Structure 1
Amino acid sequence: MGGSGKISGQLFLSDWPFASKNLKPVKQNVELARKLMREAGYRKGFKLTIHGPNNRYIRDTAILEYVATALNNIGIEANAISLPTREFFTRSMRHHEFSVSMLGWAPSASGFYTFNNLFIFPDPAKKSGNANAGQYHNDEVEKLVLTAKNSPDKTYRDQLYRRASEVVINDVAIIHSTFNTRVGVWHQT
């Protein structure tokens, strides 16, 4: 990331009001990852393609290739494919073609915008899930987000968004990295 990356362990930077103090970065442990792969029944690994845009984000193609290399190191035969931005977003967001894809996100100060677009199940009638390419769904997250949206108490809203962040991260709904004030999101299904 040329110095602009930051390990966070969660969706938001630590100074954001909905950043959880309960979420910490997980240390990389290649041996443990290999062990977990074996325990999950993937002794010989499996194949996976990760997709992302090219020339949309800082070093996006290099990041895709780095992630593929890291996955190869634990026994997942990963291939990275960068696509022109328009093609990538059409195929990823509209048609949900990719099992793993890269998405950058700039969270808003309200919290609802981020959660509604990334973690509420896609529903055009409700204008939700527009960027939920993995079609993640969790009833608890939806309840927390909708309750926060309708609460006039900012302190309570922030508390609900922090809890929603914890659920999303603990569900491994995304594989994430935080870059300065933007969120880089890896969707998986």
Structure 2
Amino acid sequence: NRLQLLPNTSGARDASEAVRLAQISREMGGGSWVKLEVTPDPVYLLPDPVETLQATQELVKDGFTVLPYMHADPVLALRLQDAGAATVMPLGSPIGSNQGIKTEESIRIIIEQARVPVVVDAGLGAPSHAARAMEMGADAVLVNTALAVSADPAMAGLAFARATTAGR
């Protein structure tokens, strides 16, 4: 099967909530892969670096493959890798903002130092944003809001896929 569902801890306000959500998902058959999101502020959905690191440590110890959403902070990226994260997912700009990559220099450093794949996540509102992330050396991008609000999500998805390929 080419598809794998990726449970997400979206809505978790701290590490304990995120760990509990991941464990419940695994118990329900969701597997041991988890996109970790710890966002105490329900308005801006910015990730909490301390709680994200703590949850990563706990989940890795519990056998999870952790894909953490994080600020574009090179030091945090290294610490998450040291904790066993399977990837790091720095935000390009706030979730849902469609502003593109506002954290370019920090993401460059993260990519340069990475020992795991780097997935640029959040804020990518146009295919050109995805192409730029790939040109910078990202391994992948995660796009949500731009597709969800598009008048033609299938066409938008195709445009993002082509831009991602073009940026390689």
Which structure has greater strand proportion?
1
**Which has the bigger relative contact order, CA under 8 A and spacing at least 6?**
1
Which structure has greater helix proportion?
2
The answer, yes or no, to whether TM exceeds 0.5 is no
- Higher gyration radius (CA): 1
